[in-house]
Amino acid sequence: MLIDEIGVKIKQLRLENSLTQEELANRCELTKGFISQIENNLTSPSISTLTDILEVLGSSLGEFFNDSEEEAYVFTSEDFYEKFDEELQNKIKWIVPNAQKYEMEPIILELEPGGKSHEDDAHSGEEFGFVLKGSIILILGKKRYTVNEGSSFYYIANKFHYLENNSKEKSVVLWVSTPPMF
C-alpha cells in the first residue's frame, strides 16, 4: 500500500462503520480537523495513532496493510468442481471451492434413477440435506426414510448412512456436512 492510500482507506473504513469524521475523532480523542487531514493525505498519523484509529474502525495494522485479494464470499457455477461416478450413478458438485478448510462442506448431489451416494460409516459431525428435485431414500443405520422434493433431513452422523434414488427420475439434493466429508 502506498502512503497516499492510507487516508483513502481510513475514510472507506470510517464510512463502512457509518461514522462521521467528528464521531471517529471523538472516539480516538483526536480532532475532526486531524481526521480530515489524514483522509485527504495532508498528514500521516503515527503508528500509535493509526493503531487507535483502526481499533475504533474494527481493524488492525495487519489487516489494514494486507494487500492480498479479499476472500471470496460468492461463488458461481464457474467456481464449482464436478465429478461423475459411473458406478454409483451420481454427480457431486462442490459448490464452495476449498470447503475442506471450513467447518462445513456444502455440495449438490445429483442421483440418476437407481443411483446412490457413497456409503459412509459413522463419523463425528452432523449432516443436513434439502431435496431440490425428485425424491430420495435416506438410509440411516438400519432405518430408511423417504425424503421428497421440498423436504429436508438432518442427523448426527454417528450411524452408517447414505442416500439412494429408487425413482424413475433424477433427484437433486443440497447436502451439507460438518466437518467436511465429501
**Taking residues 131-150, what's their average pLDDT?**
98
Q: How far apart are CA 31 and CA 148, in angstroms?
A: 63
**Taking residues 4-22, what's their average pLDDT?**
91
Asked if pLDDT for residue 181 goes beyond 90, the answer is no
Asked if pLDDT for residue 126 goes beyond 60, the answer is yes
Angle ∠(57,46,12) on CA atoms, nearest 5: 30
- Position 100 scores a pLDDT of 76
Q: How far apart are CA 91 and CA 98, in angstroms?
A: 18
- Answering whether pTM is above 0.85, one says no
**Taking residues 162-169, what's their average pLDDT?**
97
Asked if pLDDT for residue 96 goes beyond 80, the answer is yes
Contact status, residue 68 vs residue 53, Cβ threshold 8 Å? no
Which tens digits make up the pLDDT trace of 55-76?
Answer: 999 999 988 888 666 677 899 9
- Position 70 scores a pLDDT of 64
Enumerate residues 6+ apart whose C-beta is below 8 A from 101.
none
**pLDDT classification of 3: cutoffs 50, 70, 90:** low
- What domains are defined for the chain? 3-65 (1.10.260.40), 77-178 (2.60.120.10)
Asked if pLDDT for residue 54 goes beyond 80, the answer is yes
The better pLDDT of the pair 163, 61 is held by 163
